[in-house]
Chain A
Amino acid sequence: MGDGDTNRLTRFRLFKGRQRSPSVAVPDQAETPLGETSGIRFIVGFVRRDKIALSGALGVAIFIMFSVIQGFLELLGGYLRNPSLSYLLLPSDPFTFHFGLELAPPSLANFPVGLLGYDETGRSILSRILYAAPRDALASILIVVSAIVIGMALGISAGYIGGWADEILMRITDAFLAFPLILLAIAMSLILGNGYLVVLITLMAIWWPTYARFFRAQALSLKSRGYVEASRLSGLSSARIILRHIFPNSIDPIVAIATLDFGNVILTYSTLAFLGIGVTVGVPEWGSMAAQGLSYAPRVWWYALFPAIAIMAVVVCFSLLGDRIQDMVGGRISY
């Protein structure tokens, strides 16, 4: 903001829908950066010019792509009962014990298997970190997307309909917002049984309130805009107005907080894993690896440190990219 390029940035749009809203779109067709008018190419072009954001975007892309392929291989390996398929991309089998290498320090000797050292039973830490990536990626994507969907449905209807519906929906949102996330996840996994799925469901059930508040604020401010009133007067149904005007116009800023939020989900998920919530014994998970490694710290620093650094690197990448997108869509978020 205030950087010379902001004025150009406010024009960035993801969905064609915005162009149907004349009050926003018309005035700035005159000069466009890089000759691009809209869409993903504009973001790409913009991110490319910022080295820091570019490295963040690159990290995110590598993380997501690797996770998708690796996750697919893991599923396929499980389905075909052929475990070696799931280790295709990894330096070594993450479950093999290397005898004589228990708690061996990082070394270049057995490159790349021993690059990050070995754990207490001689399993390669690098392989285990890579093997765990898909679970974090899946958790972050599922939870953020579900939060956007639920938050959008409740927030836009609260803001657009207003009155009592607004009052009731917002009180429910507040009640959900008050729950301490980690405590509720602990309680749920305690009652429903400890598992990945339980943590996913709990986080999905409780992650949406901030999005609902945000969408409500957007809907409230958009409701009184000229083009929305015009389309209401011309007899468009509420559902159509919401779909064609309110939703496309409020989704842009959401992209920024959602990008930042992927990192938050990964942090929360690995914090829970650190406490032993939602992890299956034996299956590698960044948070639980760090927790196990801590009992050998500080002499065996590599065991706890590298999984923690994996978490940190992914979260930093997401927030570098998210910060940039937030600058681009302009302005800060109001709840």
Chain B
Amino acid sequence: MDSKFLFFVARRAVNAVITVILMIALIFIIMHLVAPTPEDLARLYVGPKFPPAELKLIAQRLGLTQPVYVQFVTYVTGFFRGNLGTDTIYGIPEILVIEEYFPVTLNMVLLGTLFGVLLGLFTGAIAASNRNTPTDYGVKALYLGTWAAPPFLVGVVLQLFLGYGLHLLPTSNVANPVLNIPPPVTGFPLIDSILAQDWTYLYSWTRHLILPAITIGLISFGSITRLTRATMVDALDKDYVKLAYMKGLGQRTVVWGTAFRNAIIPIVTLLALTFAATVGGAVIVEYVFEYHGIGFFAVQAAYALDYPAILAITVIVGFSVIIANFIADVLYGIMDPRVRLT
């Protein structure tokens, strides 16, 4: 059984690597489709501010006049070595920019997703165990309201009421801009500030985190509630639940102890998909809250016509989504042994 599980993990890992290479190939194909000549490609790499004569030289220097397959191999190997091009605005390698901004986003998105998942599981289970009662309809109204609202509306409403109205929480920035950022060891503000024992920064960061994280949670919990309710409704009809009731267990024990634990397994797969969506959604949340993470940076890069930055961010986010999918697959294998056989 153990070796079988290792085989399962290895198979999934190989799949993930193939998917990453395919994704890079796709970006590569897109770039070559929209910029068929070496000069156009050079313009993609260095930005729109060079005259055509210089672009020709730049294309030669960057090796863009080589055959396509050579360029492709260079591109793929470059990606795995962390070479994503040079930023046209800051003049530094993209990987440094991403190293600085991506962990900030990841930290916020992970906590926001956690909030969304807890909320989704809780409301979904409650809706299922009170099927077709006012509670069920209330939950439905709640998630329809936040899920159908455009994400920026959710963010702005929270900002208006909790931030500007009640003055409870700050409405922009990652932390108080007056404070010094703790030395970046991991890049994650949470871990860095604990390592540096910078409790002021940690407090400020936490306060600034709450609104964006709640927004992320609110716009993403609807799909989790929907699926949890569906699986819970199925689970509550199963024989083992009836048996649990017959044993004389209370409703609370049966719902949370028996049915819920069996119902949450399919949610794991959804989580990876949700993660992909929320990293995308982080763009808009960070834009609204001026949260200086990768999404905010992407929008700024778009306004500044910084092509390499936006392409590098797309590739890196796609890469992290594939990693998340891989983790979800393995978790699924651990939780539900039947999956390993396929």
Partners in one complex: yes
Q: Taking beta carbons and an 8 Å cutoff, which residues of A are in contact with B? A: 1-3, 171-172, 174-184, 186-188, 190-192, 263, 267, 270-271, 274-275, 277, 287, 290-291, 294, 297-298, 304, 308, 311-312, 315-316, 319-320, 323, 332, 334-335
B34 touches A191 (CB 8 A): yes
How distant is B200 from chain A, measured CB to nearest CB, in Å? 31
Partner of B321, one of A172, A178, A191, A316: A178
Q: Is the CB of A1 within 8 A of B233?
A: yes
Q: A186-B299, A191-B34, A304-B156 are in contact. Are A180 and B148 (CB under 8 A)?
A: no
Q: Which of B114-165 contact A (CB under 8 A)?
A: 131-132, 140, 144-145, 147-153, 156, 160, 164
Nearest-neighbour CB distance to chain A for B98, whole angstroms, equals 12
**A177 nearest CB neighbor, chain B only:** B276
Whether A187 pairs with B310 at a CB distance below 8 angstroms is yes
Interface residues of B: mostly helix, strand, loop or mixed? helix
From A273, which residue of chain B is reached at the shortest CB distance? B150
Q: Which 3 A-B pairs have the closest CB atoms?
A: A315-B148, A175-B22, A178-B318
Measured as residues with beta carbon below 8 angstroms from the partner, the interface class of chain B is 35 or more
Q: Which residues of B contact A177 (CB under 8 A)?
A: 273, 276, 321
Q: Closest CB of chain A to B46's CB: distance in Å? A: 14
Question: A179, B144: Cβ atoms under 8 Å?
Answer: no
| Residue B44, interface by CB 8 Å | yes
- Check if A175 sits within 8 Å of B23, measured CB to CB: yes
A174 touches B325 (CB 8 A): yes
* Cβ B23 vs Cβ A2 within 8 A: no
Q: State whether B18 touches A171 (Cβ < 8 A).
A: yes
Q: Complex Cα distance A315/B140, Å?
A: 14
CB nearest to B25 among chain A residues:
A175
Question: What are 16 pairs between A and B in contact, CB < 8 Å?
Answer: A175-B19, A177-B276, A178-B321, A179-B23, A180-B280, A183-B280, A183-B283, A187-B311, A192-B34, A274-B150, A274-B284, A287-B150, A298-B160, A298-B164, A316-B148, A319-B144
Given that A2-B237, A171-B15, A174-B325 are known contacts, is A180 also in contact with B150, CB under 8 Å in the complex? no
- Which residues of B sit under 8 angstroms from A190, Cβ to Cβ? 302, 305, 307, 310
Residue of B nearest to A304 (CB): B156
Per DSSP, chain A at the interface is helix
**Which chain B residue has the least Cβ–Cβ distance from A189?**
B302
Pick the most buried of B22, B132, B160, B233: most chain A CB atoms within 10 A of its CB.
B22
Residue among A186, A263, A304, A316 facing the most chain B CB atoms (10 A cut-off): A186
Which residues on A sit within 8 Å (CB–CB) of B233?
1-2
Contact B314 A184 (CB under 8 A): yes
B18 near A180 (CB under 8 angstroms)?
no
| Cβ distance B234 to chain A, nearest Cβ, rounded Å | 7
- State the CA gap A182–B266 with chains docked (Å): 26
Q: Decide yes or no whether B317 CB sits under 8 A from chain A.
A: yes
Smallest distance from the beta carbon of A44 to chain B beta carbons, Å?
A: 23
Cβ of A187 and Cβ of B314 under 8 Å apart? yes
User: Is B322 an interface residue when CB atoms closer than 8 A count as contact?
Assistant: yes
> Which of A182, A297, A298, A308 is close to B284, meaning CB atoms less than 8 Å apart?
A182
A332 proximity list for chain B (CB < 8 A): 227, 230-231
